[in-house]
Amino acid sequence: MSAPDLATRPLPVRPLSAEAFAPYGEVIAPRRAGGQGAGAPHDPERDPTEARLVLHNGTPRLWLMQLPNVGLSFTRIARHRRVSQCLGALHGEEWLIAVAPPGESERPSLDEIAAFRIAGDRVIKLHPATWHAGPHFVQAACTFFNLENMDTNQRDFEAAELGVRFAFEL
């Protein structure tokens, strides 16, 4: 069965919150800062709301991805087991991502796949091994920053065909 012949399954898009996203990763929201030279009352090492990054399994890479619009549906999902990938859109663009909890199976349960709308002033950090499809967006193109490891796409990339086409329900 080719991808165009697959049955389509609607995927409701949920609003992003730290609680709703917790099984898949963490939400990084803007935080007021005092500026250079100002006293820093905030201690990130003691703050449990700080994102806990896993970057020790390789050389970290921060890069800008320029992506074309690929539509609002997907038939594959991927994961990275060694890194806590971080994604955020530049220019305040809203975007979508589908996720499923980390696990040892060769593909996630279709019923565990969830979709989230990410505001342009938010970044997500995916737990290692979190399944994800996206970013997806409605603009013709969008630029994202991506924090992962230098070898993520060569040595830490697993993809799974889902056997169904998921369509984001906006």
In order of 53, 72, 81, 145, the CA distances from 57 in angstroms are 11, 32, 10, 20
What is the reported pLDDT for 50? 84
Is 11 domain-assigned? no
Query: Are 96 and 134 contacting, i.e. CB atoms less than 8 angstroms apart?
Result: yes
3-state SS assignment for residue 126: strand
Is 135 domain-assigned? yes
Q: How many Cα atoms sit within 13 Å of 65 on the Cβ side?
A: 17
Which pLDDT tens digit goes with each residue over 86-127? 999 999 999 999 999 999 999 999 999 999 999 999 999 999
Is 118 domain-assigned? yes
Residue listed under structure tokens 């996203």: 21
Tell me the CATH number at 21: 2.60.120.480
94 phi/psi in degrees, rounded to 5: -80, 150
Is 8 domain-assigned? no
Which pLDDT tens digit goes with each residue over 31-66? 877 666 666 666 778 888 888 898 888 899 999 999
How many domains, in total, are found in the chain? 1
* Domain of residue 106, residue span: 16-29+52-169
Nearest-angstrom CA–CA distance, 93 and 27? 16
Q: Is the pTM of this model over 0.85?
A: yes
Is 41 domain-assigned? no
Query: Are 100 and 168 contacting, i.e. CB atoms less than 8 angstroms apart?
Result: no
Is 143 domain-assigned? yes
> Is residue 82 predicted with pLDDT exceeding 90?
yes
Is 36 domain-assigned? no
CA 128, 134, 137, 139 dihedral sign is positive
Q: ω before 102 within 30° of 0 (cis)? A: no
Is 9 domain-assigned? no
